[in-house]
Amino acid sequence: MSSTVTSGSPLRSLALGTLLLGSLLLTGCMPRAAAPTPASAACLAPPEVQTTNQGVKFVRTPDACFANLPDWPYAPKYLEIDGLRQAYIDEGPRDAAPILLLHGQPSWSYLYRYMIPVLVKGGHRVIAMDHVGMGRSDKPTALEYHSYQNHLGRLDTFIQRLELKNLTVFMQDWGSVLGLDLASTKPDTFDRIILGNGGFPDVKEPYAVPKDIGAAVAGFRRTISMVPPQQPALVDEKGNSTIPIGNRDEGDPFGDWIAYAMYAEDFQPASFIEALTYRPLTPGVLAAYAAPFPSRVLMAAPRTFPSLVNQTAGRNEAVMAGLKRYDKPFLTIFGANEPAPPLTWFIDNVPGARGQAHHRYPDASHFLQDDQGADIAARINRFIAANAF
């Protein structure tokens, strides 16, 4: 791991940050995530395997799984790209300048439930997209489909097909990896960027899958014994880990995280999200985060995403160079339980970040949209007003 970490580089948001997340994801082994909708046989029925004209096999999460989710009154819309439906919600005036909200792994647009109404009240059109394989989007079953370039290309196509102009984007986790890459190569895509708990990986050499996958998975399970039920401070003021990461004599803990997500039968996305929010989540909210994934056949995307970091190898320099030329408004909003170096890197190196009202919440974790969503949205409204074109 250390051979790929450049001190102070944006990698720390994904590599160190996800490493810390990986060390806590073992709460996914604990029976804390509520079942999606226990009373709904339709939700728990095996999904039908369908095939696109290009031969891509996929499944759809039954609509019944998304019934009566707390604080989620929104009807989904769908955009078909290469035979696969991309789900999104589209709220607010259609003629208003749009805001695009990008989630990461293993969440979905439900993560933005506290932000959407505040942004709409601010007069904006708000679009929250589910990456393919997540949320209500179609879910290709082959792990190989979920490549970095596929997800990056679909994001670009989604924006073009909806003809989103004068676009402001909020990006977090893997949403930030894809969004920052697109911003670096096509800077005219976004008029404003808000980066929340994200960065871009600096992978020198691909992470190897552990030779002993069983030991890797077991090692991650042992790690949970070091983490108390109440989330502690994960990083100090310098962005260094305050908890042990793994306890194996050999191997790379990030490689262990890749192996765990890929192979562990007990990986539960909802429990992972619960572990990485500052405050406990209610059973209803846990059920909402679990809703897209009532069975393992629907989980190819969250199982694969950690390994996609290997497909970014060699791209960091070009992406960072592109961002060093980005002179449109750029705001960072982070939580205290997220490594600090990427926050300072973007403030110091992105021209559009100079003079902006950057913020770091003392009481927010990785999924800060759940911890501070309404206040984040209010800050975005002020940011847009202060940087009007």
**Does position 127 have pLDDT exceeding 70, yes or no?**
yes
Measure the CA–CA gap between 311 and 358, rounded to whole angstroms. Answer: 30
Residue pair 13/176 in contact by the 8 Å Cβ criterion: yes
Which pLDDT score, from 0 to 100, does residue 4 have?
Answer: 29
What confidence tens digit (pLDDT) does each residue in 10-56 have? 333 444 444 444 434 333 333 333 333 444 788 999 999 999 999 99
What confidence tens digit (pLDDT) does each residue in 324-364 have? 999 999 999 999 888 656 788 999 999 999 999 999 998 89
What confidence tens digit (pLDDT) does each residue in 279-330 have? 889 999 999 999 999 999 999 999 999 999 999 999 999 999 999 999 999 9
Residue for token pair 């939700």 = 43
Domain that holds residue 368: 2-386
Closest Cα to residue 86, out of 95, 72, 76?
A: 76
Kindly list the distances between the CA atom of residue 352 and the CA atoms of 131, 301, 386, in Å, as whole numbers in the listed order. Answer: 27, 33, 13
223 — pLDDT class (breaks 50, 70, 90): low
* Count of domains observed in the chain: 1
CATH number at residue 160: 3.40.50.1820
Largest Cα–Cα separation, the chain: 58
**Does position 213 have pLDDT exceeding 80, yes or no?**
yes
Lowest mean per-residue pLDDT among 100-109, 211-220, 302-311: 211-220
275 — pLDDT class (breaks 50, 70, 90): confident
Mean pLDDT of 99-110: 98
* Full-model pTM: 0.89
Lowest mean per-residue pLDDT among 16-30, 137-151, 264-278: 16-30
Which pLDDT score, from 0 to 100, does residue 221 have?
Answer: 63
What confidence tens digit (pLDDT) does each residue in 165-183 have? 999 999 999 999 999 999 9
